[in-house]
Amino acid sequence: MTIKPGAFRFNTDSMKLEIFRGSANYEGTASMAGIGTLAAGQWEEIQATSPDIQTGGTRGICVAGYSPGGTYLDEIVYINIATTGNTQDFGLLTVSGRNHVHAALSDRTRGISAGGSKFPGVLTADIEYITIASTGNSIDFGGDLTLARYCPAVAANSTRGVFAGGHSSGAMQNTTIDYITVQSTGFAAQDFGDLTSARRYMMAAFSSPTRGIFGGGGEPAHTTNINFITTSTQGNGAYFGDLGAAGQDTQGSSIASNAIRGINMGGATPVSTNTIEYLTLATLGNAQDFGELTATAGAYASNAASPTRCVRFGQGSPAYTNIIEYVQIMTLGNGIDFGDINTSISSGVTGYSAGLSNGHGGL
């Protein structure tokens, strides 16, 4: 069977209409691409909505985390990334309860929280979800990750969510990559492949509609290595390039990119850094200098992105903060104050949270 670019199909798993898009090197001949794991081309969802229609702009959501004094958080708060200001209340995690060092990803309508270390320090494989355009508590997804773990990195396109690496019981670092279909509740995560090396606490994670990219982390020594996958296929990670410095963070548990650039903000190298770097997602290569964080150098924050901005929520080292900072993705420059995290605990001071949005680069 051959498939030509421009063909349509109805995906009965995601219940969405899709179009077959040829790869960058497609030369006009018929292709088997998009069947099974072949990667010369791929099926992509036809979008019939936008963040502006859903929420009046891209909504950035900060999910749970940890606050000084041993407080595990279950609060979910949100911002409109196009504006500035403090967070507003969204709801609560209800399945994993008080949780941190977990992972979050999303499509246009649904946000996912998965894995983590929940009170009192129990590793979980739980997956739960929220409806981004509304407010309210999370709901059980109905399936779990293939492996209970914390600090996996994430990627997502309009159909799939991918979780890579992390810390599991008996293995401080692992290579596991698994995935879900974001709109298909009731199904457990499936095996995707493996990273090129075992790692956790990845510094950064980015998505375009075709690629997922995971940078840095602990192996257990800090690494500069960046891996990438083709999100709509299955297979192992491949070498993309290197970060400017070896380090780790929890930012890899959130997607921090538009469809063109990925932004890495701060981290632990192991000394806390205020460096901001960027990657061009469609190419292979090393991270480039972007600017610096303005408020404070540090690590263990979370991110959310729109087509124009990337925001950073709080941090957990060397000191916890409630600061939200942002950059304009397609320019170069230093971070700008956005506002503060507001929760019921410790004046919003939050680290080790996870972030998501309905306008990141994979959508």
For each of the chain's 363 residues, which pLDDT tens digit applies? 577 777 888 888 777 888 887 654 444 444 444 333 334 567 777 766 678 777 778 999 999 999 998 899 999 999 999 999 999 999 999 999 899 999 999 999 999 999 999 999 999 999 999 999 999 999 999 999 999 999 999 999 999 999 999 999 989 999 999 999 999 999 999 999 999 999 999 999 999 999 999 999 999 999 999 999 999 999 999 999 999 999 999 999 999 999 999 999 999 999 999 999 999 999 999 999 999 999 989 999 999 999 999 999 999 999 999 999 999 999 999 999 999 999 877 678 999 999 999 999 999
- Identify the CA nearest to 361 among candidates 303, 292, 322: 303
pLDDT of residue 8: 85
Domains of the chain and any CATH numbers: 8-45 (no CATH), 56-357 (2.120.10.80)
pLDDT of residue 244: 97
Q: Which two tokens stand for residue 223?
A: 């690494």
CA 78 to CA 86: how far, in whole Å? 9
pLDDT of residue 343: 84
- Identify the CA nearest to 231 among candidates 156, 284, 140: 156
- Do 71 and 119 form a contact (C-beta atoms < 8 A)? no
pLDDT of residue 48: 65
Q: Tell me if the pTM is above 0.85.
A: yes
Q: Which residues pair with 257 in a beta bridge?
A: 262
Residue 59 has φ and ψ, to the nearest 5°, of: -95, 125
- Identify the CA nearest to 250 among candidates 335, 188, 174, 165: 165
